Structure 1
Amino acid sequence: MPCNDSRDCIAEKFNENAAQYDRQRRKLIPCFNDFYSIPVSVMNTAKTVPAILDMGAGTGLFTSFILEKYPRANITLIDISEKMMEIAKKRFANYPNVNYIVDDYTKHEFNTKFDMIVSSLSIHHLTDDEKKSLYRRVYSLLNEDGLFLNADQVLGHTPFIDALYKNDWQNKIENSGLTREEIDSAYERTKLDKMSTLHDQLNWLKESGFEDVDCIYKYFNFVVLFGRKINRLV
């Protein structure tokens, strides 16, 4: 039976794929190493114990790289998929400084602010209006001098460019070594995508109040977006 609410669909699909998620990442993301290492490399703060929020954290893959840089950071993971979060809890069983929330990050009421907020391969499931609203919300949740990093996928700015992106990705995963079932499952999950263009998202970040907004990495439609909340009183 098809699910009626898109959030339910997302939770259902990612619950189904939770056990295989990490193993498939390197094959489904052709630029895997850069895609995760570059955002971590610019996550710089003077605080030795920063407060970090990972939105759409899934199995905690992105957070695992962050903890290599900031092992003492207080990290909050939020994701709508209970099965994905169960895997994250096992992954970070030896990290008492990692907290978990199973909820929709577009609606959850956070009771604290953060020094850095990150997300990877999640925000592209939101509509344009939801992205705009989320970027404003992220800005409000950051402390002064806080950073926002979004490693995600974008829509090509013309139909030709978008087809170029999609064809490249399809050609690579067809030859990735994944099984036919895994590849078909990946194609099925793309039906949940609501990607927006890079240009639009950079503008929405600026409109939300972020400074030094940039796309610091791009590989076809895989991008890393950066924004900073500056202390306007200085």
Structure 2
Amino acid sequence: MKKSTVKEIRTRFDKDVERFSNLQKGQTATVDAVASLEILSDAAKYLCHGARDILDIGCGAGNYTLKILEKIPNLNCTLIDLSQPMLDKAYERVTNSTNGEVTISHTDIRDFPDNAESFDIITAGAVLHHLRDESEWKAVFKKLFTLLKPGGVLLISDLVVQTLKPLNKLMWERYADYLKNLNGEAYQKEVFAYIVEEDSPRSYEFQQKKLKEAGFAYVEILHKNMCFATFCAVKEK
């Protein structure tokens, strides 16, 4: 099946800002969204407590940056997203939560400048699954490695698949049950339909390998439940 274009993905997210603007509940279609936000932001604090600059790719309405600002105040924040309405919402929320400089960029990470060693923290929340072939994953991970300062950390929370097909079938069946219990069968079918149309998730093992190939010294899993994983990659000092 032909996947959605960047323009088509942008159009859907332009209309869906409020669903991504609840810091208390997170994005409810994501299993353990609140727990993942907490674990990811705690990892940022423990790994990079002296941070000054954060880059949030596919920032949505800014939840990941906002949660990290609770643990590491007054960061300079660079927010990038395909959706201008998402960026506008994120800018409004983040500027009210930091005394640091807030910069927004209406772009795709694939087109973002390679400003070497500019950021202490990069966060990628529910965004990398939009990458397509292996060459895109390789190029984006290398870019993120280049953008990080020595000792910097990349924090990822995303949709994943399982390497073993029987386990992949199990996890997606469990995810289907989760969505049905959350909001009914019609909702489950709607979520699965846009995953098929838009997303190309890869396994944690695939991403771990590509992150190491990009130069990261350490890749650690922080949390996993069903089809969702939160993990980090650290650039050596």
Please give the TM-score of this superposition, normalised by the length of structure 2.
0.87
- Cα distance 1:90–1:179, how it changes in 2: closer, same or farther (>3 A)? farther
User: Alpha carbons of 1:151 and 1:5: their partners in 2 closer, same or farther (altered >3 Å)?
Assistant: closer
Give the alignment's Cα RMSD to 1 decimal.
2.2
Write out per-residue CA displacement over residues 94-126 of structure 1, whole angstroms, 9 at most, x where no aligned residue: 245322111111111154610111111000110
Contact 2:20 2:27 in 1 (8 A): no
Corresponding position of 2:39: 38
How many angstroms apart in 1 are the aligned matches of 2:110 and 2:165? 29
SS in 1 for 2:219: strand
Equivalence for 1:135? 141
Q: How does 1:160-199 map to 2 (within 5 A)?
A: 160-177=166-183, 180=186, 183-190=188-195, 191-199=197-205
Alpha-carbon distance, 1:184 to partner: 4.9
Superposed, which structure 2 residues align to 1:114-129 within 5 Å? 114-127=119-132, 128-129=134-135
Q: Unpaired segments of 5 or more residues in structure 1?
A: none
State the match for 2:63 in structure 1: 61
CA displacement at 1:46 relative to structure 2: 4.6
- Gap regions ≥5 residues in structure 2: none
Aligned-partner Cα distance in 2 for 1:20–1:39 = 20
Q: Equivalent residue for 1:11? A: 10
> 1:162 deviation in Å?
1.7
Query: Which shifted more, 216-225 or 24-33?
Result: 24-33
* Alignment correspondent of 1:92: 94
Displacement of 1:26 in angstroms is 4.5
Alignment-derived partner of residue 105 in structure 1: 109
Helix, strand or coil for the counterpart of 1:29? coil
Percent of paired sites with the same residue: 24
**How many residues are matched?**
227
Matched, 1:27 2:28: yes
Cα distance change of structure 1 residues 177 and 105 upon mapping to structure 2, 3 Å threshold = same
Q: 1:13–1:189: 8 Å Cα contact kept in structure 2?
A: no
C-alpha distance in 1 between matches for 2:67 and 2:165:
34
Partner of 1:207: 213
Could you tell me which residue of structure 1 aligns to residue 222 of structure 2?
Answer: 216
Pick closer, same or farther for the CA change 1:16–1:138 going to 2, 3 Å: same
The Cα shift of 1:5 comes to 6.5
Pair 165,88 (structure 1): closer, same or farther in 2 beyond 3 Å:
same
Q: Check conservation: 1:154, 1:198, Cα contact below 8 A.
A: yes
1:185: Cα distance to partner? 4.3
Q: Distance in 2 between matches of 1:93 and 1:210?
A: 31
TM-superposed deviation, 1:179? 9.4
Deviations 1:45-71 (A, max 9, x none): 252x51110111011011110111122
- Kindly provide the amino acid, as one letter, of the partner of residue 78 in structure 1: I
Q: Is the 8 A contact 2:75 2:99 kept in 1?
A: no
Runs of 4 or more, structure 1, over 6 Å off, are: none
Shift of 1:176: 1.0
Residue-by-residue CA offset, 1:11-33 (whole Å, 9 max, x unaligned): 11111222333358442123122
Which of 190, 212, 232 is residue 226 of structure 1 equivalent to? 232
